[in-house]
Structure 1
Amino acid sequence: MAKFLVEVLGCALPVREDNNNMPQTPHSAGGYNKNLYQAKEEVYSGLYYHDNNLASGSLEALIRHLLPTLDYYPDRTYTFTFLLSSRLFIRPHELMSKVCHMCVEQQRLCDPQADKIRLRKMAPKILQLLTEWTETFPYDFRDERMMRSLKELTHRLSTGDEIYRKAVSQLSQGLIRRLTVLSQYQEALVKINATAAERLAVLKAKPQAAIHRDIMSICNDPFTVAQQLTHIELERLSYIGPEEFVQAFVQKDPVDNDKSHFSDHKKAANLEAYVDWFNRLSYLVATEICMPMKKKQRARLLDFFIDVARECFNIGNFNSLMAIISGMNTGPVSRLKKTWSKVKTAKFDILEHQMDPSGNFYNYRTALRGATQRSVTANSSREKIVIPFFSLLIKDIYFLNEGCANRLHNGQVNFQKLWELAKQVSEFMSWKSVECPFDKDRKILHYLLTAPVYTEDALYLASYESEGPDNNMDKDRWKSLRSTLLNRAST
């Protein structure tokens, strides 16, 4: 995980926004005002409110606030927020164990018959809470301890009542279906990555014998390629669990003295796979451009990828757009001055301006807001597409997490911070739920996912072979790369 964070946070960090300028939600009207807790507060069962908004509370009180009673059911926004961020303080299987214990204790009365009646009244509400948990955070239940607690509680709820037995069965089947689909996706990723590695190994073993094929030999229509990139983006987005954004940065809660705490946390595997895809696309673009020996073909590919990037922008696919721009701005590509001289760069300049990092990516954020507004009022599925520049989204959440304490000076959980985390993640949830409206082209998809991608050293060697070095330093590097890479290929 440390390696992943370095990769994501190691480039062009955005300026941390002043806390008072953070976006507000109806649940965080007080924002991050440091004087908030000097103002008058309302306290209710260990929960602290400010201006009728939940501001803080003990972990125990927040867990109790999650549990339904005969005359209370938690707001869905609260349920999402707490289940999302509670892992900053307690492991999901420990939370589930507490929930089960509290639910059982809540029903236990002196009279067994009254206990049974009370359970029957409470069962629908508890099942609704479990349904929300399993539907929104199904990956939590890959833990056997979670499944054991879930089975114990649902068995108690369904005992002796046919209606609730059916509801429990539907809940269990839905959860198993989601986890099965996830496993199939992760197995498919392993196969795709293995195929890509095999193709690269073949190219390295017989570079002269290999017939170079570029993306334009597969499809020379930039609009179609942009559509297929959007397919990949939306599929990979759809498998990222909302909790992965929190787990990517989770650290041991200082209040907890258990040294083994969080040692069994799953990694944010789907989030990492998505970042890997961005890196692959960037290097694929650079590889495609650097490989051809003829300047004319390299220039054609530059023009082509500029058009693909522009179509990605029009679609609302900002992640592919940024990956393509990054690939074209790598050292091996940007140094090809003779090739660039054959390209009309006006369109590329416009795209670079849109993704300019200055002003904390002001231009991009403006375009993202426009795409988001278009999505809200969309009449067609195509207009609903919003695929954010993902690394920047992660950095925003990282700075929000780092810039505000999990607990207040009195040890209370800072729930205003949790509201803000939930706001950012819930917006992502709406983006990732969009179905891709474009037809799939499996031939193009296969190429984009498995075509050989060069390392930076191999790209520089190919770049120097195409257009010789400009200075003595580059000449020395060229000689060193030739010696190192060519000798490595012959052994």
Structure 2
Amino acid sequence: GRGLRGSKSQVSCFSRVGLVSEREADIELLSGAADFFCTKEYSCGCESDGSWPDVSFPLLQEGMPQTLSSTSMFTPCSFSPHLHTSKEDEQGGLIFQDGNLTSASLDALIQHLIPTTDYYPEKAYIFTFLLSSRLFIEPHELLSRVCHKCIEQQRLDDPVLDKARIRKFGPKILQLLTEWTETFPYDFQEERMIGHLKDMIHRIAPCDEAYWKKMNQLLQTLNQKLATLSHGQEGIVKINAAVSDKLVAFKSKPPSIQREILSVCSDPYTLAQQLTHVELERLSHIGPEEFVQAFVHKDPLDGTKPCFSDQKTSNLEAYVKWFNRLCYLVATEICMPAKKKQRAQVIEFFIDVARECFNIGNFNSLMAIISGMNMSPVSRLKKTWSKVKTAKFFILELHHFSSQIVIPFFSLLIKDIYFLNEGCANRLPNGHVNFEKFLELAKQVGEFITWKQVECPFEQDANIIHYLHTAPIFTEDGKTVQSLITENVSLYHCQLTS
């Protein structure tokens, strides 16, 4: 298993968790599981050292979320080790090592993206370059240069067009534009991008009426996708506004909170399903380019301005905030009840939810629940933990596993990309783009594209999802205050009865 962002090694790590009988072991278990995934050693995409046992997986369970299979999807196996070129190797400034494209000038890489009558770039190259090029050139400028070179090379400005040539070239440029709009739709929120796209198709359309129809279909599909994404973003903004209105800030004694998770949903499997709905909904809005834009630095060959005036990472940030919210919600729900028995019941409930998340393949919610239970206001409740049935602690059956990871532990994916970005330069000393680095980056982001297109078969429960999004949560100080209050109240009652 490579990378541990949803690999067999990650599953093996959790499968080693067994029955524990001591409270200290409980805390160590939670802490160890969280710490394991946050260590730099295991977050850089390095090979497993073989210390974790291999796990064999049965067939995918019926009714579980399934990853889509599509030729347009970018998965690690779709990246060919050889990006074939012939003349470009010597004439286009592309540098190869053992048949692999490792570096090139930005101009050479742009030229390599442009289709001709008898050439079309590999899918892996298109994705890698469109993903990474935004570190050096803005998308609208890249598309402008691509269109300009196409006009020159195919002589689209000539008074009389060579229809035979255009009929060979037309389908290829349409395919490139289609792949761009499908994979990076947020790029086309800019009017300049739409303008370049329309201009190119208008130039080739006189040679074949079918190109007009293709353009209309492309634009219609793009508009629908952007409308869906925009609607999702607006929904997240509304949710965040509602949460801000309900946040509970503590100065001394926290006010009472009327509802608890067990009054909304008492079935762990149902809650795990609804958490999976939320995870997949949030994932679907994240554009692959956000992973690059999150780590944008000023291009050393351009001393005037960074490549982006603002970092367009709102969906990525919203997903990270969701993880943090779930951590705090778990801690809040545990700290709220006044009696030890009730708090222990909530802990046992979340242990069951975590197990169901694991069985589904929802590792992000699983780790959020673990992190919430491992927060100090929760871990310090020794009398509460003494009431927890330790037999519930992560008895994970291998035969329950699904054969595909559905939702990875997202923080680990971010760490992988961060360390790759920090550990390798974007440009080589000769000014060439370090394409070898960006091919590795594209592999990691390609995995994410596969994950976020998972189909969720579970029925949605609006009431539960609304609660997950809007239930008041304690602040950091609030959790500590409530923890101290509940523990001291329990101690006081013990003293009265003794």
TM range (shorter): 0.7 to 0.9
Partner residue in 2 for 1:124: 171
- The one of 36, 40, 52 equivalent to 1:14 is 40
> CA 1:468 to 1:48, structure 2 compared with 1: closer, same or farther past 3 Å?
same
- The one of 314, 318, 335 equivalent to 1:273 is 318
The residue matched to 1:467 in structure 2 has which SS?
helix
Partner residue in 1 for 2:265: 219
Considering fraction of residues, name the structure with more helix: 1
The residue matched to 2:40 in structure 1 has which SS?
coil
Partner residue in 1 for 2:224: 177
Partner residue in 1 for 2:485: 465
- The one of 153, 157, 161 equivalent to 1:106 is 153
- Aligned equivalents of 1:134 and 1:144: distance in 2? 13
Q: Do residues 145 (structure 1) and 165 (structure 2) align?
A: no
Alpha-carbon shift at residue 451 of structure 1 (Å): 0.6
Structure 1: 5+ residue stretches without partners: 1-8, 31-40, 355-366, 376-384, 471-491
Partner residue in 2 for 1:397: 417
- Aligned equivalents of 1:81 and 1:239: distance in 2? 20
Partner residue in 2 for 1:429: 449
The residue matched to 2:95 in structure 1 has which SS?
strand
Partner residue in 2 for 1:233: 279
Q: Do residues 156 (structure 1) and 203 (structure 2) align?
A: yes
- Aligned equivalents of 1:294 and 1:181: distance in 2? 45
Identity of aligned residues (%): 63
- Aligned equivalents of 2:244 and 2:375: distance in 1? 22
Are 1:322 and 1:389, in contact at CA under 8 Å, matched by a contact in 2?
Answer: yes
Alpha-carbon shift at residue 147 of structure 1 (Å): 2.2
Partner residue in 2 for 1:248: 294
Are 1:28 and 1:55, in contact at CA under 8 Å, matched by a contact in 2?
Answer: no
Are 1:196 and 1:452, in contact at CA under 8 Å, matched by a contact in 2?
Answer: yes
- The one of 381, 393, 416 equivalent to 1:348 is 393
Alpha-carbon shift at residue 58 of structure 1 (Å): 1.0
> CA 1:393 to 1:327, structure 2 compared with 1: closer, same or farther past 3 Å?
same
Q: Do residues 264 (structure 1) and 290 (structure 2) align?
A: no
Q: How does 1:350-369 map to 2 (within 5 A)?
A: none
- Aligned equivalents of 2:156 and 2:332: distance in 1? 70
Alpha-carbon shift at residue 371 of structure 1 (Å): 7.1
- Aligned equivalents of 1:424 and 1:248: distance in 2? 15
- Aligned equivalents of 1:20 and 1:292: distance in 2? 44
> CA 1:155 to 1:299, structure 2 compared with 1: closer, same or farther past 3 Å?
same
Partner residue in 1 for 2:332: 287
- Aligned equivalents of 2:485 and 2:407: distance in 1? 37
Are 2:377 and 2:479, in contact at CA under 8 Å, matched by a contact in 1?
Answer: yes
The residue matched to 2:436 in structure 1 has which SS?
helix
- Taking structure 2 as the reference length, the TM-score comes to 0.78
Which moved further from structure 2: 49-58 or 440-449? 49-58
- Aligned equivalents of 2:251 and 2:245: distance in 1? 10
Give the CA RMSD over aligned residues: 3.2
- Aligned equivalents of 1:309 and 1:111: distance in 2? 65
Are 2:45 and 2:416, in contact at CA under 8 Å, matched by a contact in 1?
Answer: no
- Aligned equivalents of 1:235 and 1:414: distance in 2? 34
The residue matched to 2:160 in structure 1 has which SS?
helix
Alpha-carbon shift at residue 112 of structure 1 (Å): 3.2
Partner amino acid, structure 2, of 1:399: F
What's the CA shift string for 1:214-270, capped at 9, x where partnerless? 11111111010001000101111111111111111121211123x233243442111
- Taking structure 1 as the reference length, the TM-score comes to 0.79
- Length, aligned pairs only: 424
Q: Do residues 300 (structure 1) and 345 (structure 2) align?
A: yes
Q: How does 1:308-347 map to 2 (within 5 A)?
A: 308-347=353-392
Partner amino acid, structure 1, of 2:344: A
Are 2:254 and 2:478, in contact at CA under 8 Å, matched by a contact in 1?
Answer: no
Q: Using CA pairs below 8 Å that are at least 6 residues apart, which structure has the higher relative contact order? A: 2
Partner amino acid, structure 2, of 1:221: D
Structure 2: 5+ residue stretches without partners: 1-34, 50-75, 491-498
Alpha-carbon shift at residue 449 of structure 1 (Å): 1.0
The residue matched to 1:43 in structure 2 has which SS?
helix
